[in-house]
Structure 1
Amino acid sequence: MSVPNITVVAGPAGCGKTTWICQQIQNLSASVNVIYFSPGTGKVPIDQTHLAADFPNIKVFHDGQETEFLQQLAKFEAAYIELGFYLELTSVETILDGLSYQSLAILPPKLQQSEYHAWADKIIPGADIDTNIISNQLWRVPSNGQVIDEDSLQEFWYEITHGAYGQVSRAKGIFDVADGRSLYADFVAGVPTTEFLELDLPRHLEGRPERFSGLEVLGNNLDESAMKRTLEDCYLSEVAITQYQQQVKQILLEEKIE
């Protein structure tokens, strides 16, 4: 069996693992077949969805697909495995079942003598996150099929990132908004904030979207119940979804005619 060039990428939350992988994929020739796997994300595959939207030609595997991933490896020339901070570094050995790989750690510049240094074949400087913050609470919630009012989402995101629900060190999410777009939100404490990013996905303007959306928040003393209630308050009703979609379709039709 031919074995692809396997790179396992690890590092603290928010240091830039997915960003680095995306950069490597961009630099590869379009003829190179690429496979990507990020275990441990459960029903909230934010990075997988984001990466698949940016690179529709690569093969993306989700949590629980370890067997399928191994079976497909021989068909690809390059493979990337992203280990979330919540996984043991040795877990990749079980996944790869004896296959050789390059271990690479994306680390903040000030971090020294960590478990990542002992594990990695190569260290890549990542985002300058605050390594003194020890977050012990990870909250995940899928919102598949829900459509969100964008103004309400902006307000909710501001509250999350400004301490309304506890000390947040990392937050990311994918949301379907009323005009049919899918938006990616990303926050890392201590790193300059970015605007919502529209994913390269078709506008969904026919009922509830049948694609992934969801939220992940990492921090301390998080009020999960309050976050859940506020998020649900952002969801639009069936009637509101229909009205918004009809309005957007009419606007798009008029723009096309012009």
Structure 2
Amino acid sequence: MTKPTITVIVGTSGAGKTTWICQQLRDMSAVDQVIYFSPGTGTVPIDQTLIATEFPGIKVFGEGQETEFLSQIPQAEAVYLELGFYFELGAIAQILGNQNYHAVAVLPPNLSNSEYHTWATEIIPGAPAPTNQAGSLWRIASNGQVVDETSLEEFWYEITHGAYGVVSRAKGIFDVNDGRSIYCDFVAGVPQTDFLELDLPRCLDGRPQRFSGLEVVGQNLDEANLKQTLLDCCLSDGLISQYQQQVQQILLQGELV
């Protein structure tokens, strides 16, 4: 049996590690024997959810699934291990042991002579994200919550314009009031992108039974107000039911036209 190609991807926050992996997957003729592992994300697996949604044929592993991930490597054709900026490079050996791998670092163009440059066999120029990794990382899962999209847009504007501290990176997946699951992404110094609708069924029957959550990286983060404002965006059971009925009616009318 041919040994799989194991690619380890590291880099600074917001430089584009997951984006690069997605591009590699799109370029493949088939992805049904590919596995992806991103440890350290706890209960907020944003990147894992994004990849699993776009590439449903991939086996995706996250926090606490290291054993399952390692057991699947011999059966895979390609393996991607993505490490967040908060990991030391020494963590790779702790995960993979003495297995050979291709070392890729996705880095901002203005970063040079870092430990990543010494470690990597391939340097990928990424987004011009901030190179100062100092600061705090804050995460919150919001599974089962539905947020008002207009309120979310206002909240996202506040996050990205300094209302809760100096934010260098923010990303999140949210269920909104019309049943869609949307992905939000921000990197300081990089042109902002519109919210992205994930290719998932609309949730129109009660509270969603899938992941949603937010991750913010920055300095002097006001974590209490971040949490409270997100909760303020969430809808009650009654409003969720009301919105879902409205969307069901609209979709039914569209089908009958």
TM-score with structure 1 length normalisation? 0.97
1-structure distance, mates of 2:197, 2:89: 32
User: How far is 1:218 from its partner?
Assistant: 0.2
1-structure distance, mates of 2:166, 2:108: 20
Which deviations, in whole Å up to 9, do the C-alpha atoms of 1:139-166 show, x marking residues without a partner?
A: 0000000000000000000000000000
2-structure distance, mates of 1:44, 1:89: 22
Residue 42 of structure 1 aligns with an amino acid whose one-letter code is G
Which residue is equivalent to 2:73? 73
How much is the aligned-residue C-alpha RMSD, in angstroms?
1.0
Contact 2:31-2:55 at 8 Å conserved across structures: no
Which residue is equivalent to 1:221? 220
Which residue is equivalent to 2:246? 247
Structural mapping, 1:116-155, within 5 Å: 116-131=116-131, 133-155=132-154
1-structure distance, mates of 2:219, 2:72: 39
Residue 21 of structure 1 aligns with an amino acid whose one-letter code is I
2-structure distance, mates of 1:123, 1:81: 16
2-structure distance, mates of 1:111, 1:173: 26
1-structure distance, mates of 2:190, 2:110: 14
Which residue is equivalent to 1:156? 155
Residue 69 of structure 2 aligns with an amino acid whose one-letter code is F
Runs of 4+ aligned structure 1 residues displaced above 4 Å come to none
1-structure distance, mates of 2:163, 2:31: 47
- Aligned CA distance change for structure 1 residues 144 and 31 (closer, same or farther; 3 Å): closer
Note the residue ranges of structure 2 that are not aligned, 5 or more in a row.
none
Which residue is equivalent to 1:41? 41
Residue 221 of structure 1 aligns with an amino acid whose one-letter code is N
Structural mapping, 1:61-210, within 5 Å: 61-131=61-131, 133-210=132-209
Q: Percent of counterpart pairs with the same letter?
A: 65
- Aligned CA distance change for structure 1 residues 248 and 32 (closer, same or farther; 3 Å): closer
2-structure distance, mates of 1:48, 1:31: 15
Residue 242 of structure 1 aligns with an amino acid whose one-letter code is S
2-structure distance, mates of 1:220, 1:134: 10
User: How far is 1:40 from its partner?
Assistant: 0.5
2-structure distance, mates of 1:228, 1:108: 30
SS in 2 for 1:129: coil
SS in 1 for 2:6: strand
Note the residue ranges of structure 1 that are not aligned, 5 or more in a row.
none
Residue 162 of structure 1 aligns with an amino acid whose one-letter code is H
User: How far is 1:18 from its partner?
Assistant: 0.2
Contact 2:25-2:31 at 8 Å conserved across structures: no
2-structure distance, mates of 1:129, 1:83: 17
SS in 1 for 2:15: coil
2-structure distance, mates of 1:110, 1:194: 22
Which residue is equivalent to 2:18? 18
User: How far is 1:32 from its partner?
Assistant: 5.5
TM-score with structure 2 length normalisation? 0.98
2-structure distance, mates of 1:160, 1:105: 28
User: How far is 1:134 from its partner?
Assistant: 4.0
Q: Number of paired residues?
A: 257
- Aligned CA distance change for structure 1 residues 21 and 134 (closer, same or farther; 3 Å): closer
Which residue is equivalent to 2:51? 51
Residue 67 of structure 1 aligns with an amino acid whose one-letter code is T
1-structure distance, mates of 2:223, 2:162: 13
User: How far is 1:30 from its partner?
Assistant: 1.7
SS in 1 for 2:48: helix
Residue 111 of structure 1 aligns with an amino acid whose one-letter code is L
